[in-house]
Amino acid sequence: MSDEPILQVIEVTKTFGGILALNRVSFDVAEGEILGIIGPNGSGKTTVVNCITGFIRMSSGKVIFQGKDISGKPPHKIADRGLTRTFQIMRPYYSLAAYKNLVIPLFSPRAKRTGGWRGGGKLGDRDTVGIDILEEIGFERDSYVPYKLASTLPTGYLKRLELARCLALKPEVIICDEIFSGLSMSEIASMVPLIERLQMDGITLVMIEHRLRELFRVANRVMVLNFGEKIAEGSPDEVMASEKVKEAYFGSEDVEEVMNHA
Amino acid sequence: MEATMDILIYGLVNSTALALIALGFALVYGISRIPNFAHGALYVITGFFVWSLLRGAGLNYFVSIVLGMVITGIIGALMYQFILIRVRGMAISEIIASYAIGLAILEGLRWWGFKGMSNTLPVFWEGTIMIGDVPIDMQRILVVVIGVAVVAFLWVFTHFTRIGLALRGMAQDERAALMLGIDSDLMALVAMAFGAMLAGLAAVLLLPLGNIVVEKGYNVLIQAIAVCIVGGLGSWMGAVLASFLIGFAQILTTVYLGAHYQMVVALLAIILTLILRPSGLFGRQKELEERV
Amino acid sequence: MNMEQRRKERLDRGIKVRTDSIYALMSVRELAYLTLPRFVLIVGMLVLPLAMPGMYWQRVVSIVCIYAILALSFDFLAHFVGLVSLGGAFFIGVGGYITAILNTSFGMPPLLSVPIAAVAGGLICTVLLLPCLPLRGVYFAIVTLMYPLAMGRIIEALDILGGTDGIMGLESFPNRWVEQYLVIVMVLVFLFGLRRLVNQDIGLVFRAVKDNDQAVKASGMSITFYKAIAVFIASGMGCLGGACLVHIYMWSGISLFALDFSILPIAATVIGGAGTLVGPVLGCFILVPISELLRAFGTLRIVFYSLILVGFIVVRSEGIMVYGQRKYHQFQRWVKV
């Protein structure tokens, strides 16, 4: 564990036509920590993930991962280096069974190099490794669940499948885009230990979330975005106490301002 | 000096011709996102109708032209209402369906006996005038004049009339337009009819410069697609600009290399655009380069 | 309780277990139930030339097989990779011209020039289609549609490669039977080979590219690379077909880029059942003889395919083999309770 942050986002800006979606957003992610990114709807959270992981070209700014500049690289190259992400709108490979979904990331150059998650060395049968990964993230091994077509699985399983997809690549960093959304309380209750276990295995996590209570249970640090700008950063308590953050979520209570417009 | 005037004038003519051909396709795609691969077929069949009305039924030329365009517009509307509406939204099925219809029309015409026959439409305005030292026939001047008029009309129509604004609204964001009470199916129908009539207008203006041959249907399709891809699928201004680029490029290659290279230019334009800047000059689908 | 009751039971009740890919076989009869369709197909196709009354119909069988290869490549690309190729004629033309040049200018015998044409043609077509591979599927459809239309006109206009006359005087295969069985065996090899391929790991990657290419990118793989491999396979198949065709007719010309080769595979796939791989082959067996009979009507046959195509697309019918496969597994018999 070095002192260098594993991921550095420097002054990232993105305009869509006339809209300034991200305005010079900068933050660092230390190795092994869990960073939460929160903010009201439309604050640019998913856009910042897309820019970091190469799915959108930034208007300006730099992204440095493990000391190397990855700005502007195509998404598959970035994933190949170990910076993976989940998608907010999950689309598993519907026509394939659940465990077959994992064959694809296990087929990637990175999985072949690193041996995949707990694969170690030369990968054997990808089907077997796929089932192992699924078991680890909570699919019941001896049931029919891993063999079902992905189109028939409920949300909780699909979210785990997304995580499994990232895990198959033996990642250094996973950026989770709203992984708690759409889950019931009990499903979240079983996800949280999984996230903690991933951190214990040495993976750095960046979590974009709306569900603050669950996020604060796992996150070490939190960053707040509003209208594409970073307005706060720190521990969960510090951030929730900040005036700016309250204003962003709840609106201003400045009575004089309201009266002046009347 | 003479060569330059030649190139300028014939380049202008060729460019407006391309713009006329492509605008119908661009209009339909811009508004309803349907790539109308029957565009070339509609072009040729208008020529067929006008010819039949003129020579067969002996109607006045102007009347035949108007009737021919109207019939083609109706065919476009029918095509949409009965076939394309069922595959709306599935891009590949739209392409296959419209292409198949276009093929059915073109090959049907070919079988009927239009192949090899030199059917011609008379020019609307006889005579040649000289611009500088360059002789140019009146029909070509008419092409330019009407081309400019059409572009201007479209601009005014889509900026100042209710239907035009509705069409633009749909082109920009279909869901938002639906929420504002604009009937997207009706608008798409109008767009198809309009686009078909534009194809007919192009045919009526350009076919007198040659003869009515089924092959022209395919050429028109290729050229329309080339212009729209270079200009950016969905952008009318882009199509106009692209038709000038490609138009002049074609004239230049004709002058310096020979008349056979027109198709090569069109194809190269498509490939180069897809390599260098896939969304075209003014393409609204920037997402091709920055996919979310 | 003495009353004997009967109920209906599916034929495959004993055979199918929990998953779709595992079968439990306990008797020769069950084995036969599963393998019979395939057996009938293979034997039927191998016996076909012997059953044909005369050379004309034997040639028709060869043409059917070449179309079948094209239809297989179309179905593979469209249903398993998500790329709709509207211009099968392009592959036929490229393959045909390459083998023609190798044969006439370099004197290579057909049995050598055909495989080379397949591989070289596949490479050339893949390179030419490369620009549209990173983009949305619509562009692939547009570009594949244009290439054969443009190539025909370019060859005619520039008068290269024999111009409108084409390249004549090609050798044919050493033996009539080689000619016949080469294409038939090719169809069987490709059919079963592709079936196997789409369930292999790399086949799963292709299908994933079709389902969700963003996720494939996020898994660290370049979709352009995998699409290119798929296009190479499909175009190689098409070029092989074209090369064989050209040696059957001993002539190579612009008509190789004709619309028949582009439209008929699509119509055959739609009729026969998209995604089943055997459906397109069946579709060709239906459509090609009909088209031969319609030859007297000139280009009306293209009108015919187009209208069928539009009809099937609009009605969104599933195709013969999809229906057939479903029904085959639903046959029931009376069983004593």
Considering only residues A65 and A251, tell me which one the structure prediction assigns the higher pLDDT.
A65
Nearest to A108 among C211, C212, C220 (CB): C220
CATH of the domain at C144: 1.10.3470
CA distance A47 to chain C (A): 15
Which tokens hold the place of B50?
């006008």
CA distance A104 to chain B (A): 21
Average the pLDDT over C212-220 and give the result.
88
Residue owning tokens 């029904």: C327
CB contact under 8 A, C314 and B83: yes
Structurally, chain A folds into a number of domains equal to 2
Domain residue ranges in chain B: 2-123+140-284
Residue C262 resides in a domain: yes
Residue C28 resides in a domain: no
Residue A195 resides in a domain: no
What subunits make at least 3 CB pairs under 8 angstroms with C?
A, B
CB contact under 8 A, B275 and C135: no
CB contact under 8 A, C214 and A80: no
- Say which range, A166-175, B261-270, C118-127, has the weakest mean pLDDT: B261-270
> pLDDT tier at A262 (50, 70, 90 boundaries)?
very low
Give Cβ neighbours of residue B234 (< 8 Å, ≥ 6 apart): B26, B29, B30, B33, B171, B283, B284, B285
Using the Cβ of C216 and the Cβ atoms of chain A, whether some distance falls under 8 Å is answered with yes
Residue C266 resides in a domain: yes
Residue C280: the pLDDT is: 92
Residue C76 resides in a domain: yes
CA distance C267 to chain B (A): 10
| Bridge partners for C336 per DSSP | C6
Bridge-based pairing state of the strands A7-16 and A60-65: antiparallel
What subunits make at least 3 CB pairs under 8 angstroms with A?
B, C
Using the Cβ of B157 and the Cβ atoms of chain C, whether some distance falls under 8 Å is answered with no
> pLDDT tier at B70 (50, 70, 90 boundaries)?
very high
Residue of chain A minimizing CA distance to B290:
A56
CA distance A93 to chain C (A): 5
Shared-domain flag, residues A67 and A130 = no
Residue A235 resides in a domain: yes
Using the Cβ of A80 and the Cβ atoms of chain C, whether some distance falls under 8 Å is answered with yes
Shared-domain flag, residues A70 and A97 = no
- B89 pLDDT above the threshold of 90: no
> Is the Cβ–Cβ distance between B117 and B132 less than 8 Å?
no
| Three-class secondary structure assignment of chain C | CCCCCEEEEECCCCCECCCCCCECCCCHHHHHHHHHHHHHHHHHHHHHHHHCCCHHHHHHHHHHHHHHHHHHHHHHHHHHHCCCCCCHHHHHHHHHHHHHHHHHHHCCCHHHHHHHHHHHHHHHHHHHHHHHCCCCHHHHHHHHHHHHHHHHHHHHHHCCCCCCCCEECCCCCCCHHHHHHHHHHHHHHHHHHHHHHCCCHHHHHHHHHHHCHHHHHHCCCCHHHHHHHHHHHHHHHHHHHHHHHHHHHCEECHHHHCHHHHHHHHHHHHHHCCCCCHHHHHHHHHHHHHHHHHHHHCCHHHHHHHHHHHHHHHHCCCCHHHHHHHHHCCCEEEEEC
Q: What is the DSSP string of chain B?
A: -HHHHHHHHHHHHHHHHHHHHHHHHHHHHHHH----TTHHHHHHHHHHHHHIIIIIS---HHHHHHHHHHHHHHHHHHHHHHTGGGGTT-HHHHHHHHHHHHHHHHHHHIIIIISS--B----SS--EEEETTEEEEHHHHHHHHHHHHHHHHHHHHHHHSHHHHHHHHHHH-HHHHHHTT--HHHHHHHHHHHHHHHHHHHHHHHGGGS-B-THHHHHHHHHHHHHHHHH-TT-HHHHHHHHHHHHHHHHHHHHHT-GGGHHHHHHHHHHHHHHH-TT-SS-S-GGGTS--
Residue C1: the pLDDT is: 46
CB contact under 8 A, A50 and B292: yes
CB contact under 8 A, C220 and A111: yes
Nearest to C217 among A75, A93, A96 (CB): A75
CB contact under 8 A, C135 and B274: yes
Residue A260 resides in a domain: yes
pLDDT digits (tens, 9 = 90+) for C134-165: 887 788 988 998 899 888 888 887 777 777 77
The highest-confidence range among B16-20, B60-64, C36-40, C224-228, by mean pLDDT, is C224-228
**C-chain residues within 8 Å CB-CB of B97?**
309-310, 313-314
> pLDDT tier at B292 (50, 70, 90 boundaries)?
very low
Using the Cβ of B103 and the Cβ atoms of chain C, whether some distance falls under 8 Å is answered with yes
Cα dihedral: C228, C230, C232, C235 (round 10): -130
CB contact under 8 A, B289 and A55: no
Using the Cβ of B284 and the Cβ atoms of chain C, whether some distance falls under 8 Å is answered with no
CA distance A57 to chain B (A): 6
Domain endpoint, select from A171, A190, A216: A171
**A-chain residues within 8 Å CB-CB of B290?**
55-57
Considering only residues C210 and B257, tell me which one the structure prediction assigns the higher pLDDT.
C210
CA distance B10 to chain A (A): 37
Nearest to B274 among C86, C132, C157 (CB): C132
**C-chain residues within 8 Å CB-CB of B275?**
131
> pLDDT tier at A2 (50, 70, 90 boundaries)?
low
Considering only residues C232 and C201, tell me which one the structure prediction assigns the higher pLDDT.
C232
Q: Kindly state the percentage of chain B with pLDDT values over 70.
A: 89
Q: Kindly state the percentage of chain C with pLDDT values over 90.
A: 30
Range of the domain at A87: 83-171
Shared-domain flag, residues A151 and A208 = no
Nearest to B99 among C86, C131, C154 (CB): C86
CATH of the domain at A62: 3.40.50.300
Q: What is the DSSP letter of A82?
A: T
- Say which range, A26-40, B171-185, C111-125, C211-225, has the weakest mean pLDDT: B171-185
Using the Cβ of C300 and the Cβ atoms of chain B, whether some distance falls under 8 Å is answered with yes
**A-chain residues within 8 Å CB-CB of B289?**
57
**A-chain residues within 8 Å CB-CB of C199?**
none
Shared-domain flag, residues A88 and A166 = yes
> Is the Cβ–Cβ distance between A180 and A218 less than 8 Å?
no
Residue B118: the pLDDT is: 59
Using the Cβ of B289 and the Cβ atoms of chain A, whether some distance falls under 8 Å is answered with yes
Structurally, chain C folds into a number of domains equal to 1
CB contact under 8 A, C220 and A144: no
**C-chain residues within 8 Å CB-CB of A177?**
none
ipTM: 0.84
- B290 pLDDT above the threshold of 50: no
CB contact under 8 A, C313 and B100: yes
- C257 pLDDT above the threshold of 60: yes
- Say which range, A14-18, B9-13, B238-242, C13-17, has the weakest mean pLDDT: C13-17
- Say which range, A115-124, A133-142, B252-261, C126-135, has the weakest mean pLDDT: A115-124
> pLDDT tier at C23 (50, 70, 90 boundaries)?
low
Residue A144 resides in a domain: yes
**A186 three-state secondary structure:** helix
Q: Indicate which of B80, B84, B92, B213 best probes the interface with C, i.e. most C CBs within 10 Å of its own CB.
A: B92
CA distance A94 to chain C (A): 7
Residue C226: the pLDDT is: 94
CB contact under 8 A, B99 and C157: no
CA distance C225 to chain A (A): 11
Shared-domain flag, residues A96 and A26 = no
C-alpha distances in Å from residue B161, one per residue of B151, B158, B198: 15, 6, 19
CB pairs under 8 A between B and C: 114
CB contact under 8 A, C221 and A109: yes
- C184 pLDDT above the threshold of 70: yes
Using the Cβ of A226 and the Cβ atoms of chain B, whether some distance falls under 8 Å is answered with no
CA distance A238 to chain C (A): 34
Residue A178 resides in a domain: no
Using the Cβ of C86 and the Cβ atoms of chain B, whether some distance falls under 8 Å is answered with yes
**B-chain residues within 8 Å CB-CB of C137?**
91-92
> pLDDT tier at A254 (50, 70, 90 boundaries)?
low
pLDDT digits (tens, 9 = 90+) for B96-139: 888 899 999 988 888 776 544 556 777 666 666 666 667 777 77
CA distance A259 to chain C (A): 50
Residue owning tokens 């054997």: A124
pLDDT digits (tens, 9 = 90+) for B29-48: 888 888 899 999 999 999 88
Using the Cβ of C22 and the Cβ atoms of chain A, whether some distance falls under 8 Å is answered with no
Residue B284: the pLDDT is: 62
Domain endpoint, select from A171, A189, A221: A171
CB contact under 8 A, B93 and C313: yes
Q: What is the DSSP letter of A149?
A: B
Residue of chain A minimizing CA distance to B284:
A17
**B129 HSE (CA, 13 A, CB side):** 8
CB pairs under 8 A between A and B: 9
> pLDDT tier at C87 (50, 70, 90 boundaries)?
confident
CB contact under 8 A, C135 and B288: yes
CB contact under 8 A, B289 and A50: no
**A-chain residues within 8 Å CB-CB of B291?**
55-56
CB contact under 8 A, B95 and C154: no
Range of the domain at C248: 55-336
